[in-house]
Structure 1
């Protein structure tokens, strides 16, 4: 920047000119040759003091000593104060009692723990050797050595304080390291103890089980599937059923049951083909065949009575319960036995498009209701209970208290998986109960039962 620009710049300020004064000696008068540039300022008039005032202190400049003795004294004093202060600070933070850890005892706690033993004596020896080797910067000065080795004293105190601090730091570090190793060994020991505790408890439990006498294994009796209800058809019987199902025999009367006066044509027998609904003629004829089977072999079957499909319609008509409508159905002359002497009484129930079964179990004093769709209808069982009381009083002159009998809607029985096998399920409920067997069949057996029922109707003999 040029001198002209700096001169006219608003940020430039010209330096002030120095004023020079001539030093005057108060003892000597000014010479005529040296004249002050500015006139001497006159001393102001002193005010009158009306109260006590502090006198003005005049500080005079200390004269500079001529010798080096003062410098050495100040150095001695400063070094002495510093050494004293350092020594006091070192003594303040010095721990007299050292904490020791007996590592030999910890080695006996766990074999896995590895602890290094720190020898503190070696460190102290090294620190002492280092203190001996320390030299102060003042040791080379001849002036300091002349005053009794003050530098050596301060150096000794400084090294003493530093040595103490290094010693405590080393001890803290060693104790922290040992503590960490002990913590690690304790953690490993705790995990092993937990594993051992689990093994101990496991073996104790196993030992207690071995000491106890072993319970005898009781084999559950296997449900024996009877052979009679599942006798396969022969080839001749299969061919006969196939011919009966053919369309050429639709109008032909295949069989006639004389005692019940039921005729079975090919068209009526078609209800036993797959996916067809059973009709009243086939159901009623089959029930007649079951009754004949019992009469033929009374020892192999329960004493049962089989009502036809029209009984319940007569007993419970649109006008309600009507015992008189069915009073003559069970006379001694027609049946040859009293109804209350039977073990079981089967009543087919037709509910529009669905077949169900009601059972009067005289042997167990129960009223049962079986539905292949798990249906429930207490009205049916109540009507049958009333009928049984009226029948016993009418035919045998006995009063039966049916109020104590159980009414049970059976669950867990074989169920149909379609919309057309309800009639076949009802017939097989009757067949198996009359044999005194459990209901050990399912939906998979329905095609076989249809062909077997057709074969038995064609032969007019239930097996």
Structure 2
């Protein structure tokens, strides 16, 4: 029920959006929230082991390989504030953009630090592909991490997940105006989009119950 107005979006809804985008296929990679959660729960000394574990679990999940990947989208949760934000890795530009609808001076440093740790884990996961397809010395950990000034700001404490879902769907925000980020109808649109996804295994059940 977290898609109701003024309700906080949980990881299950965000991941449903990720699954939907993965199924559509593109030159981009969309990671589940599981990846950043695992990094957040792992000490620095255990990041290599985590990378090996994740390599087995997710390395074949995407329709295009790293060589052809344009952008990598990684939803991240600030657990202290229960706040979602998004990392967008621009592979060709060697840059990581931090899309945050509610920046916090107090917690900005920790968000950058987590982004750095996530980049290290990407290096561990995709080391073989990096060595094979890119120039010597290429590392995600060396990418410049910047806070983009293109991210819109939320006006409440509950819409961060809606912002992230919109950015996942359309990072340039070309298909919707700024008002849709804040409007309750945007939650309806997101709900219907997820519900009508042909891969939704409960679609038939929902239709029958609505009769």
What TM-score does the superposition give when structure 2 sets the normalisation length?
0.75
Report the counterpart of residue 415 of structure 1 in structure 2. Answer: 153
1:356 correspondence with 2:93: no
- Residues 345-371 of structure 1 deviation map (CA, whole Å, 9 limit, x = unaligned): 111111221111111111322111111
SS in structure 1 at match of 2:128: helix
Change (3 A) 1:336 1:423: closer
Q: Could you tell me how far 1:444 is from its partner in structure 2?
A: 4.8
Report the counterpart of residue 385 of structure 1 in structure 2. Answer: 119
Change (3 A) 1:461 1:424: farther
Report the counterpart of residue 7 of structure 2 in structure 1. Answer: 276
Change (3 A) 1:387 1:411: same
Which stretches in structure 2 are left out of the alignment for 5+ residues?
Answer: 200-211
8 Å CA contact 1:414–1:439 kept in 2: the answer is no
Which stretches in structure 1 are left out of the alignment for 5+ residues?
Answer: 1-269
Distance, in Å, in 1 between the alignment partners of 2:3 and 2:120 is: 35
Report the counterpart of residue 449 of structure 1 in structure 2. Answer: 186
Out of 323, 326, 335, the residue aligned to residue 54 of structure 2 is 326
Report the counterpart of residue 206 of structure 2 in structure 1. Answer: none
Report the counterpart of residue 22 of structure 2 in structure 1. Answer: 291
Distance, in Å, in 2 between the alignment partners of 1:316 and 1:407 is: 18
Matches within 5 A, 1:98-177: none
- Residues 295-339 of structure 1 deviation map (CA, whole Å, 9 limit, x = unaligned): 3xx5xxxx111111111122332423332231213323x434323
8 Å CA contact 2:180–2:186 kept in 1: the answer is no
Distance, in Å, in 1 between the alignment partners of 2:118 and 2:180 is: 32
Larger-Rg structure: 1
Distance, in Å, in 1 between the alignment partners of 2:154 and 2:83 is: 12
1:310 correspondence with 2:44: no
- CA RMSD of superposed structures (Å): 2.5
Q: Could you tell me how far 1:438 is from its partner in structure 2?
A: 5.2
Distance, in Å, in 1 between the alignment partners of 2:150 and 2:158 is: 20
SS in structure 1 at match of 2:145: strand
Change (3 A) 1:421 1:274: same
List structure 1 segments (4+ residues) > 6 angstroms apart after TM superposition. Answer: none
Change (3 A) 1:387 1:319: closer
